[in-house]
């Protein structure tokens, strides 16, 4: 994929539509986590210093094409202004006379935030007429919202077809990291896929076994594979109806030359609660009333050795019920080892997905990974090998 480089664009005096992801968590009209605002700052600072007139497009929540006052972006204005250290003007609509008036009033380097694009049904329908109304407010388009790139909406895909389109600095960094992990990676490449259910990650597993040298499977989904191999998993979470599917994935991995790393020992308990008595068992020792809640030390040691033998790691999903200690030990040990290798330059370590980000933060090592994506659905669809409309629309 090739994209226009924002840093080669003539921006002075130009109206630049910037798609950002300001779908931030709020409580009582107050932002409780401003990570997504902060991620947009490098692009916004760059555009401002280049003299662009910055027009921000964003969505908040799911108003389904209706004007819902509780889903207004107005509460974002003050915290964004504080982070940017400059005023941010707000428009009560994202198209029409109100939006045009605010945009026309911008000075070079100024910033305006337009109201929730999802207040209009044309946004999620990717309606060409609505996209044209948005495009009329800008001279250039910049997409800095990779997390919304898997949606073919008017503000993520439609507008990009109507104006000269560029990835923002955060988007470009994400695309570069993803290309380094799966596009043109340094081999050998190791994947870790965890989480509760195989059913939610079928496309992911089927794609990765054709791309990776090794794939470690953990979390509840590993139980389905162990069950398919004939192991007794006690009362553990398992999708027994997907046993044949698990066998097909194992056969596909073998045919593709991808080594699957499944647990060889497990940590079990009788119930899921903090600090309960937990036991480590080999697979042949699992009791009928055991719940498998984490990977065991032999499994972890094998995974760490696989990291040592790899050049690139891509990770999605925890290895156990990491939210409930002591069932966080395998995830934490793997995260710390990967982070140490990445920090020393021995491993390109890319991770993403909500639970994965939480797990790395829990282990205190997210900052040491090469790249951690907070994009959720877009990251997952990219790992599944799917085309992301918002990225494809930026290609030159």
Cβ-based burial of 367 (10 A; exposed 0-12, middle 13-18, buried ≥19): exposed
CA 101 to chain centre: 35
CA 354 to chain centre: 7
Q: Choosing from 173, 197, 270, 281, which is the catalytic residue?
A: 197
Active site residue 4: no
Radius of gyration of the chain (CA): 23
122 is catalytic: no
DSSP class per residue in 337-377: HHHHHHHTTS-EEEEESHHHHHHHHHHT-GGGSSEEE--TH
Task: For residues 126 and 118, give the distance between their C-alpha atoms in angstroms, rounded to a whole number.
Answer: 11
Q: Which of 14, 15, 19, 36 is catalytic?
A: 36
Q: How many CB atoms lie within 10 A of CB 280?
A: 15
Among residues 354, 376, 385, 386, the one annotated as catalytic is 354
| Residue 166: half-sphere exposure toward Cβ, Cα within 13 Å | 20
Q: Is 377 marked active-site?
A: yes
Across the strands, what pairs with 372?
Answer: 351
Q: Which helix (H) or strand (E) holds 86?
A: none
CA atoms within 13 A on the CB side of 296: 18
Q: Which helix H or strand E contains 229, and what residues bound it?
A: none
The catalytic residues are 36, 197, 354, 377
């Amino acid at each position: 994929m090739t994209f226009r480089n924002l840093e080669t664009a003539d921006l002075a005096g130009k109206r630049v539509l910037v798609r950002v992801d300001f779908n931030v968590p709020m409580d009582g009209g107050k932002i409780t986590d401003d990570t997504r605002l902060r991620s947009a700052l490098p692009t916004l600072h760059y555009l401002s210093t280049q003299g662009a007139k910055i027009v921000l497009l964003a969505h908040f929540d799911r108003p389904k094409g209706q004007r819902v006052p509780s889903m207004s972006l107005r509460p974002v204005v003050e915290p964004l202004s504080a982070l940017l250290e400059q005023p941010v003007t707000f428009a009560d609509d994202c198209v029409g006379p109100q939006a045009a008036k605010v945009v026309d009033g911008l000075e070079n380097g100024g910033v305006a935030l337009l109201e929730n694009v999802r207040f209009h049904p044309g946004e999620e329908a990717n309606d060409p007429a609505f996209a044209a109304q948005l495009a009329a407010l800008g001279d250039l388009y910049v997409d800095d919202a990779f997390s919304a790139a898997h949606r073919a909406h008017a503000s993520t895909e439609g507008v990009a077809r109507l104006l000269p389109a560029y990835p923002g600095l955060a988007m470009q960094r994400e695309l570069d990291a993803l290309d380094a992990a799966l596009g043109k990676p340094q081999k050998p490449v190791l994947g870790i896929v965890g989480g509760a259910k195989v059913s939610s990650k079928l496309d992911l597993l089927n794609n990765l076994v054709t791309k990776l040298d090794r794939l470690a499977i953990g979390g509840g989904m590993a139980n389905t594979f162990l069950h398919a191999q004939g192991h007794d998993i006690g009362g553990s979470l398992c999708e027994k109806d997907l046993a044949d599917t698990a066998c097909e994935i194992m056969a596909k991995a073998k045919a593709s030359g991808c080594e699957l790393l499944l647990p060889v020992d497990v940590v079990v308990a009788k119930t899921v609660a903090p600090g309960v008595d937990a036991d480590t068992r080999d697979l042949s020792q699992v009791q009928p009333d055991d719940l498998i809640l984490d990977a065991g030390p032999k499994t972890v040691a094998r995974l760490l050795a696989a990291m040592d033998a790899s050049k690139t790691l891509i990770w999605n999903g925890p290895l156990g019920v990491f939210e409930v200690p002591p069932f966080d030990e395998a995830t934490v040990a793997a995260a710390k080892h990967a982070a140490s290798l990445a920090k020393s330059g021995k491993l390109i370590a890319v991770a993403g997905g909500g639970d994965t980000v939480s797990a790395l933060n829990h282990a205190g090592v997210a900052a040491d990974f090469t790249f951690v994506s907070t994009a959720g659905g877009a990251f997952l669809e990219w790992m599944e090998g799917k085309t992301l409309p918002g990225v494809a629309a930026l290609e030159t």
